A = this chain, B = another copy of it.
């Protein structure tokens, strides 16, 4: 594992590079449609830790992938993440005013623009991946699109969000919550590693191993999120906390209690790091991320 300070500097550098890539991709227009591009930029250039993009580039690094290709794939994943936040924050969904310490998209613009900005970011993610600029091998491009769409759609992230809405009026047990979270947040985290492996034309074995790592940190990440919702400081977290409890929603924390949930997150984080053994020192940044994920305060 790299030193924590060094890791945080690397995470911040990568976040900057991803923001620059997004900035270069989201080109303003002089037509009246520019408002939707402004909203796309507002919601994707505003910061965030960029954990998913970090997973893409750190995984790509394992296989010596060209940095520019990795950053474009990382930007595509972040577009999907940002679109999902825009739509989740809408009045008809979670009805949130605050995100990453700023007004949510539909507050800063309006609801219609926010819906369209989400749609456009979702669409653009696939355009970027399918563009020969991302990779010269069409097989790689098609595989990137296939993996990201599978992780994001009704059998992945969107399906998880649907279950999450169902959970507002129904009590889920631990296996059901696990499935919910695997779809809602785990799928996009797992595919982030996958995209790196696809770009690097990794062996089935390497890809599978990386997938196991991603699976574990995905769940650890979610448990840490649930803990932050209970224990985090609203200003530091950058969004409203205590929401799950207020909504009467079952989470890992409500089902397991704070202590056992924290233990579980730590077990998953260690297990994730063990999967990385086959990659040796090259995987140090992924190890540090697994550590960081369960120890973050926002």
Q: Is A127 positioned at the interface, with any CB of B under 8 Å from its CB?
A: yes
Q: Pick from A96-104, A138-146, A255-263 the stretch touching chain B.
A: A138-146
Please tell me the number of chain A residues within 8 Å of chain B, measured between CB atoms: 59
Q: Is A92 positioned at the interface, with any CB of B under 8 Å from its CB?
A: yes
Q: Is A265 positioned at the interface, with any CB of B under 8 Å from its CB?
A: no
Task: Give the interface centre of A110, A119, A160 by most chain B CB atoms within 10 Å.
Answer: A119
List chain B residues, Cβ under 8 A from A253. none
List chain B residues, Cβ under 8 A from A138. 137-139, 141-143
Chain A 133-158, CB within 8 Å of chain B: the 1/0 string?
Answer: 00001110111011001101111001
List chain B residues, Cβ under 8 A from A119. 83, 87, 118-119, 122, 158
With contacts A127-B150, A149-B130, A153-B123 known, is A183 near B33, CB below 8 A? Answer: yes
List chain B residues, Cβ under 8 A from A166. 32-33, 35
Q: Do A111 and B130 touch across chains, with their CB atoms under 8 A apart?
A: no
List chain B residues, Cβ under 8 A from A115. 87, 90, 92-93, 115
Cα–Cα distance between A137 and B138 once the two chains are bound (Å): 9
Cα–Cα distance between A119 and B36 once the two chains are bound (Å): 17
Q: Do A149 and B162 touch across chains, with their CB atoms under 8 A apart?
A: no
Q: Is A252 positioned at the interface, with any CB of B under 8 Å from its CB?
A: no
Cα–Cα distance between A241 and B153 once the two chains are bound (Å): 34
List chain B residues, Cβ under 8 A from A180. 32
Chain A residues numbered 14-68 whose CB sits less than 8 Å from any CB in chain B: 29, 31-33, 35-37, 40
Chain A 115-127, CB within 8 Å of chain B: the 1/0 string?
Answer: 1101110111011
17 inter-chain pairs at a CB distance below 8 angstroms, sorted by A residue, are A29-B159, A32-B162, A32-B176, A35-B162, A83-B119, A92-B111, A92-B112, A92-B115, A116-B161, A120-B154, A120-B158, A120-B159, A123-B149, A126-B149, A127-B146, A138-B142, A141-B142
**Further contacts, 14 of them, CB under 8 A, given A33-B158, A92-B111, A129-B145:** A31-B159, A31-B179, A32-B166, A33-B160, A87-B119, A112-B165, A113-B162, A119-B122, A120-B153, A120-B158, A123-B152, A123-B158, A127-B153, A141-B145
Interface residues of A, Cβ cutoff 8 Å to B: 29, 31-33, 35-37, 40, 83, 87, 90, 92-93, 110-113, 115-116, 118-120, 122-124, 126-127, 129-132, 137-139, 141-143, 145-146, 149-150, 152-155, 158-163, 165-167, 170, 176, 179-180, 183
